Amino acid sequence: MTPSEPAETRTTTRATGRSAQTATLAEIAREAGVSAPTVSKVLNGRADVAPATRSRVEELLRAHGYRRRRAEASRSPLIDLVFHELESAWAMEVIRGVENVARDAGLSVVLSESMGRLTPGRTWADQVAARRPHGVILVLSGLDESQRALLTSRSIPFVVMDPAGDPGADVPSIGATNWQGGLAATRHLVELGHTRIGAITGPSRMMCSRARIDGYRAALETAGLPVDPALIRPGDFHHETGYREGLKLLRGPDRPTAVFAGNDLQALGLYEAARELGLRIPEDLSVVGFDDLPVARWVGPPLTTVRQPLTEMAEAAAKLVLDLAKEDGDRAATRVELATSLVVRSSTSVPPAM
């Protein structure tokens, strides 16, 4: 049974909730061998509770699928936005989208970073429980089961944007059509006449990155072109990797005439590698990125890339989490994917005559 499931069912009895809920809270206090006020303290994230007591109470709250009634929750005018890492150059596009929705709703945005770990730290969850935001948006980041139970027991809804892992069917999430994007990027290169097309992937633990590279493979296979594992290099979505793996791809024998770089930053790293090897873009090498960051228009030559509407995705995530926060906001979990689109600029052309 998933932690948020009983919450969903529980809310159906909200009309008669008060007594039911109070009983539950009293039950929990009894079972935990503490006073009801102590259980409230735990629910309110107050510091003055012994760790052992806190975890015993949390355990029972979880076991009972206890859920604080919304009216009781007295939310603060905040939305929590959690990034896997702020280094991700497109974080600003996402922040802007969440800010837009928060501003219109009279809310402020609390920003945190899960420090490259794919689930934010435990203290983070306690802080969120204590400040009671309207909701939590996780970017390329997930929650472990106890964190989900913690938020659910406080009626703090959460939405995952562009999930790094499989968020589970009961977790609302917003993404982009990454597979379609990888397909479109690679088809564009195939249609230009390229047959040796390399790729630099993102981290394999991220679904978005797996989807993009699967789209790349699908484009090659449907075009009857071989998929050469030697032309697929592992990346991590950073510029440095695009440069390093780019050098490996371009120095190798029988080098590719085009590369799907996985994202824009890796494409810029690839630009640097090509410059270093005296290869001209697009005459000697065609490059396609992914994201369409502002910088994609600014580099020379302007980058052909797959646009994912990051700001719109963030706005959709913020609107969804605010919906879920409403009294009547309970709903089946949703997975929304916004469309990606190929933006053809000057970094792609027909392959060089060899």
Q: By the criterion CB under 8 A, which residues form the site for a copy of itself?
A: 76-78, 81, 86-87, 89, 91-92, 95-96, 99, 103, 106, 108-113, 115, 123, 127, 130-131, 239, 268-269, 271-272, 275, 294-295, 298-300
In angstroms, what is the minimal distance from the CB of 161 to a copy of itself?
A: 16
Q: Which is nearer to a copy of itself, 55 or 108 (CB)?
A: 108
Q: Which is nearer to a copy of itself, 106 or 253 (CB)?
A: 106
Q: Which pair of structure tokens corresponds to residue 301?
A: 């030559």
Q: Which is nearer to a copy of itself, 77 or 226 (CB)?
A: 77
In angstroms, what is the minimal distance from the CB of 236 to a copy of itself?
A: 15
How many Å is the maximal CA-CA distance in the chain? 81
| CB half-sphere exposure, 204, CA atoms < 13 A | 3
Tell me how far apart the alpha carbons of residues 87 and 84 are, in angstroms, rounded to a whole number: 9
- Minimal CA–CA distance to 88: which of 233, 244, 266? 266
SS3 state at 158: strand
> Cβ distance 58 to 42 under 8 Å?
yes
DSSP states of 191-229 as a string? HTT--SEEEE---TT-HHHHHHHHHHHHHHHHTT----G
Q: Which is nearer to a copy of itself, 61 or 79 (CB)?
A: 79
In angstroms, what is the minimal distance from the CB of 99 to a copy of itself?
A: 6
Please state the φ and ψ torsions of residue 67, each to the nearest 5 degrees: -135, 120
In angstroms, what is the minimal distance from the CB of 219 to a copy of itself?
A: 27
SS3 state at 306: strand
In angstroms, what is the minimal distance from the CB of 242 to a copy of itself?
A: 9
Q: Which is nearer to a copy of itself, 29 or 159 (CB)?
A: 159
In angstroms, what is the minimal distance from the CB of 255 to a copy of itself?
A: 20
In angstroms, what is the minimal distance from the CB of 2 to a copy of itself?
A: 27
Q: Which is nearer to a copy of itself, 275 or 335 (CB)?
A: 275
In angstroms, what is the minimal distance from the CB of 195 to a copy of itself?
A: 27
- The amino acid at residue 8 is E
Q: Which is nearer to a copy of itself, 36 or 86 (CB)?
A: 86
Beta-strand (E) ranges in 84-161?
108-113, 135-139, 158-161
- The amino acid at residue 339 is A
Angle between helices 36-43 and 17-32 (to 10 degrees): 100
Phi-psi region of 303 (alpha: psi -120 to 50; beta: other; left: phi over 0): beta
Q: Which is nearer to a copy of itself, 115 or 230 (CB)?
A: 115
Tell me how far apart the alpha carbons of residues 65 and 240 are, in angstroms, rounded to a whole number: 46
